[in-house]
């Protein structure tokens, strides 16, 4: 979602720009995956074997565990549209080397990783004359790049196995890593041997690699088991794939960034100028028959869940030649008018292909959408990390701060900065978040001295379902026009030798003027030799909420029951938004946009303890109440 956009520096070029290597590396954990585990555990085996054709191009779910209709849980596999590089269709199954809960398989070494196991498929009564073919696309590596090389001492591979009529798994295909990322390749295997033609047939993909990170990735797409269709020429298997499919994630609704405060959007002299005139995706023609395919596209925007639907113009080729790949489809959102109302909004824009396809199995890959939040924060990132970027310690030469450039349409206050630490390496480390004004004397780059700083020790873990750590400034920081937000190892007196890793979103390209580093002295790295991406750093604004409500106003508000045993907290009094902080003042829960102002706060995910509930009122005052959860 997945950019205030900044150019991504070439992270490989960055390696040569500083005295010491920057750590752009795989993730050891992904806390965003943890929420998927309960759903996996709830899945059960099917009572009846599937019939042919078997097909899955992983267009659903949008992200999560493979759908139980086709696959056995659990297996650690992540269905997503962000890890693979130029996939055949939107959505792939990535064997990413992390368990379903986002944790690594081990602390070191090479062994078995994720598995993708089909539900039983009934092939009883089939014979070699049916000409059953099993086909799929595969890729070694991911958007970050390659993977480890396979060798005699450490196996890095993807293998496919079929279950025979004795219940034994037999290897029918294996691909060993060369260390390089591959383009997606297509593989076909004839399923004609009698040992596989039984009523409880299954197949499974198994990955082997580094058990300590998600470094050794393999992605699977467009899995199909079916008889060869009587469509000439029968000898060309690829003619079975008469499908035009969307591939690349849809770019942002916003012209600059992936999210912004709703009041800042409304304050623009021309709000339409804040919208992207060139949102885009790409499409692939999987048909290799030699015949062109006609193509039309449409685009729509809607404030979800129930706003009116508006159209926006799109441009695309009128036809796609046979096997044409990664063709850009673009839409202009600047003609769209969004409601100029003060409440936070979730906005979905969508692109749909019209290619005269009639196969219900492949129609879902003709549509792609993205949801953008107009809430209370700015962001370049889409909320997901595909890699980590580490910042070196203060006591070592090289980068000491990273900063991102932001623009406000009217003066405002920065309440906090959200950052995405990468666990477990970041736990217990001290970091400084800063706000800098732009320096009018030096091309509007960040000032040499920070306007405001806040130190924080990164906690051992984040609350369940939370992937960002919110660091709140003691006093909200005034900003106007251009400002910069960032983090680094400030002069804390804490001398340590290890860098601190933070999440890096590799799917969000950013403008060239947005990323800065202090080495010391501000500079912008140049050169592009690595996929574009965004630091996961989000300044949170408060719409100029300057004052605490007077005692007479605060007395009219209350929380009940308090103490509370089930996390369902009732709010007495009208308010606009709720935030919950722990005893140290760290934000541990923020009210979802769809629930803002509602009389019930669902805090059931928070553990027992003492909390502060901050209510923002419509008149820019705040009321803070103490809450005790007893669980």
The reported pLDDT for the residue numbered 624 is 92
Instruction: Please report, for the chain, the start and end positions of each structural domain, with discontinuous segments joined by +.
Output: 11-26+385-541, 31-241, 245-372, 547-629
Q: Look at 618 and 90; give whichever has higher pLDDT.
A: 90
Most confident of 201-210, 337-346, 420-429: 201-210
Cis amide leading into 305 (omega within 30)? yes
Kindly tell me if the per-residue pLDDT of 528 is higher than 60.
Answer: no
For 524-561, b/e burial (b = at least 16 CB within 10 A) is ebeeeebbbbbbbbbbbbbbebeeebeeeebeebebee
Q: Look at 22 and 65; give whichever has higher pLDDT.
A: 65
Mean pLDDT value of segment 87-115: 94
Among 206, 85, 231, which residue's Cα sits nearest to residue 155? 206
- The architecture in CATH of the region 11-26+385-541 reads Sandwich (2.60)
Classify residue 397 by burial, with Cβ atoms within 10 Å: 0-12, 13-18, 19+.
Answer: exposed
- Distance between CA atoms of 51 and 29, rounded to whole angstroms? 37
- CATH fold label, 547-629: Immunoglobulin-like (2.60.40)
Kindly tell me if the per-residue pLDDT of 241 is higher than 80.
Answer: no
- Distance between CA atoms of 520 and 554, rounded to whole angstroms? 46
**Alpha-helix residue ranges (DSSP H) falling in 31-106:** 37-42
- In this structure, whether the domain defined by 245-372 belongs to CATH 1.10.287.70 is answered with no
Two tokens at 380?
Answer: 């370049």
CATH number of 31-241: 2.60.120.260
Same fold, 31-241 and 547-629: no
The answer to whether 196 and 162 are in contact (CB under 8 A) is yes
Among 608, 610, 613, which residue's Cα sits nearest to residue 625? 613
The reported pLDDT for the residue numbered 21 is 35
Residue 631's pLDDT band (boundaries 50, 70, 90)?
A: confident
The reported pLDDT for the residue numbered 34 is 65
Kindly tell me if the per-residue pLDDT of 90 is higher than 70.
Answer: yes
Among 69, 1, 84, 75, which residue's Cα sits nearest to residue 36? 75
The reported pLDDT for the residue numbered 277 is 97
Question: Percentage of residues in the chain with pLDDT exceeding 70?
Answer: 88
How high does pLDDT run on average in the chain?
Answer: 87
- Distance between CA atoms of 334 and 356, rounded to whole angstroms? 29
Give pLDDT tens digits for 544-582: 776 788 889 999 999 999 999 999 999 999 998 888 888
Give pLDDT tens digits for 378-404: 999 999 999 998 887 655 554 578 999
């Amino acid at each position: 979602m997945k950019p205030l956009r900044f150019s991504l520096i070439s992270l490989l070029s960055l390696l040569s720009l500083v005295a010491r290597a920057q750590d752009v590396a795989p993730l050891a954990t992904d806390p965003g995956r943890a929420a998927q585990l309960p759903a996996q555990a709830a899945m059960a085996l099917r009572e009846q074997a599937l019939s042919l054709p078997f097909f899955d191009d992983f267009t659903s779910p949008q992200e999560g565990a493979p759908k139980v209709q086709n696959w056995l849980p659990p297996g650690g596999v992540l269905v997503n549209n962000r890890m693979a590089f130029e996939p055949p269709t939107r959505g792939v199954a990535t064997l990413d080397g992390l368990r379903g809960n986002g944790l690594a398989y081990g602390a070191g070494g090479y062994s078995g990783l994720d598995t993708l196991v089909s539900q039983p498929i009934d092939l009883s009564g089939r014979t070699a004359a049916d000409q059953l073919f099993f086909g799929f696309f595969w890729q070694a590596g991911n958007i970050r790049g390659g993977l480890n090389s396979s060798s005699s001492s450490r196996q890095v591979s993807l293998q496919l196995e079929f279950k025979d009529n004795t219940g034994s798994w037999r290897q029918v295909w294996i691909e060993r890593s060369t260390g390089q990322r591959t383009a997606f390749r297509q593989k076909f295997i004839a399923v004609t041997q009698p040992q596989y033609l039984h009523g409880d047939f299954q197949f499974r993909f198994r990955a082997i690699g580094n058990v300590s990170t998600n470094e050794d990735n393999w992605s699977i797409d467009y899995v199909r088991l079916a008889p060869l269709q009587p469509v000439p020429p029968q000898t060309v298997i690829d003619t079975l794939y008469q499908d035009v499919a969307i591939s690349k994630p849809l770019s942002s609704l916003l012209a600059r960034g992936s999210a912004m405060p709703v009041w800042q959007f409304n304050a623009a002299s021309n709000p339409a100028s804040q919208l992207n005139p060139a949102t885009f995706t790409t499409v692939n023609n999987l048909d290799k028959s030699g015949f062109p395919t006609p193509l039309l596209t449409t685009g729509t925007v809607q404030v979800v869940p129930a706003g009116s639907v508006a159209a926006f113009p799109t441009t695309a080729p009128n036809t796609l030649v046979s096997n044409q790949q990664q063709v850009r489809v673009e839409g202009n959102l600047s003609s769209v008018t969004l409601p100029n109302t003060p409440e936070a909004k979730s906005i979905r824009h969508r692109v749909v292909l019209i290619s005269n396809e009639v196969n219900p199995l492949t129609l879902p890959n003709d549509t792609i959408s993205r949801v953008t939040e107009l809430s209370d924060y700015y962001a370049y990132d889409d909320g997901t990390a595909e890699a980590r970027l580490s910042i070196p310690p203060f006591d070592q030469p090289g980068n000491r701060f990273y900063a991102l450039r932001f623009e406000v349409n009217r003066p405002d206050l920065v309440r906090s900065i959200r950052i995405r630490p990468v666990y477990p390496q970041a736990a217990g480390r001290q970091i400084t978040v800063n706000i800098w004004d732009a320096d009018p004397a030096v091309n509007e780059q960040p000032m040499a001295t920070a306007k405001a700083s806040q130190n924080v020790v990164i906690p051992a873990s984040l609350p369940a379902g939370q992937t960002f750590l919110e660091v709140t400034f003691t006093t909200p920081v005034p900003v106007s026009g251009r400002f910069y937000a960032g983090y680094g190892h400030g002069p804390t007196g804490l001398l340590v030798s290890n860098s601190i890793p933070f999440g890096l979103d590799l799917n969000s390209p950013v403008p060239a003027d947005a990323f800065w580093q202090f080495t010391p002295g501000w500079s912008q790295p140049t050169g592009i030799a690595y996929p574009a991406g965004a630091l996961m750093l989000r300044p949170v604004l408060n719409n100029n909420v300057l004052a605490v409500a007077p005692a007479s106003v605060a007395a009219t508000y209350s929380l009940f029951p308090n103490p509370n045993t089930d996390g369902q907290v009732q709010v007495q009094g009208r308010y606009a938004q709720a935030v919950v902080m722990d005893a140290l003042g760290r934000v541990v829960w923020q009210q979802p946009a769809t629930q803002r102002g509602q009389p019930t706060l669902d805090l059931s995910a928070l553990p027992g303890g003492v909390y502060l509930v901050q209510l923002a009122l419509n008149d820019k005052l705040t009321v803070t109440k103490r809450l005790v959860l007893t669980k």
